[in-house]
A and B are shown apart, each in its own frame.
Chain A
Amino acid sequence: MKLSNIVELSQQDHPPIRQTPLWPHALDAADRIRASEGRVLAVACALSVSVAVAVAGTACLTEPAPPDPLESIFVSLEGGAP
């Protein structure tokens, strides 16, 4: 048997016949995907907001405090460097 005969014969093959229409399933699947994409987007937004808040908070905590004028007075009274 030659491959060309197999190719020719297989061109007459056809897919199985579906018993139920596909379109309701395809529409439902597309709706589900859209809904889940919406949820992912909402979670991503919430995450990015909380990350931004956390970064801002950390920046506030790590920022050096302004020098306390009283502290330098105490240091001079105790004999340390002013």
Chain B
Amino acid sequence: MDDVRRAQRGDRDALGRLIARHEDSVGRILWRFTRDQGEWESLVQDTFVEMIGSIRSYRADSGFEHWLARIATRVGYRHWTRRRRNRERVRPLCEDSIRALAARPEPSDAAQLLHELLGRIDPPERLALTLVYLEGLSLEDAAARAGWSSGGMKMRMRRARIRLAQVAADCGLELGDLP
């Protein structure tokens, strides 16, 4: 019997093994939703708590990793909408970050800048951009991950591209060859 089935029957050790096995992939997904390490760790933990709470309802028709990725995406998205409701302001962008990045192109600095740019976009469109541009998912896969219809995903992506172009223009950035 595999660990998923054992975990569904309440085997704690199997749950522990599942978490250990998927910790990295869940962590990578949620690092797109926050750049704060404390927040990130608690989002990863929330994902596994939700996984434990709903593992009995998991059906093997979709892969376990895909099912877990959907939970992680939901947890991250909820984090964004909560921040939105709290009316927390994203840190204002500055040309300095862009200049610094041009001088010394580091992935973490680029990700930080992109995180701040995307923070100016509403959560649904932001999620569409994150799944397609950063996770590299196709529109179909992104729709499945977000739990949206394929048409809904296309509509959000259309709006998202327009919004992203505005945000980029505000910072003096060209879009480049983004699809």
Contact = CB atoms under 8 A, between A and B. Distances in A.
Contacts of A18: 23, 27, 41
Interface in A1-26: 1-7, 9-16, 18, 21-26
A27 B175 contact: no
Given A4-B177, A6-B101, A15-B31, A22 B45 contact: yes
Contacts, number: 106
A13 B31 CA distance: 9
Contacts of B106: 9
A25 B45 CA distance: 8
B98 A14 contact: no
Interface residues of A, number: 26
What are the 7 A-B residue pairs with the smallest beta carbon separation, nearest first? A4-B176, A2-B176, A13-B111, A9-B110, A26-B48, A10-B111, A15-B31
Contacts of B134: 7, 10-11
Contact of A22 (B23, B98, B102): B23
Interface residues on B, range: 35 or more
Interface of B: 12, 15-17, 19-20, 23, 27-28, 30-31, 37, 40-41, 44-45, 48-49, 52-53, 98, 101-102, 105-108, 110-111, 113-114, 117, 133-134, 136, 164, 168, 173-178
A48 to B, nearest CB: 24
Given A3-B164, A7-B133, A21 B20 contact: yes
5 contacts: A3-B168, A12-B107, A22-B41, A25-B45, A27-B12
Given A7-B134, A25-B45, A26-B49, 7 more contacts: A2-B176, A3-B176, A6-B114, A9-B105, A11-B136, A15-B28, A29-B49
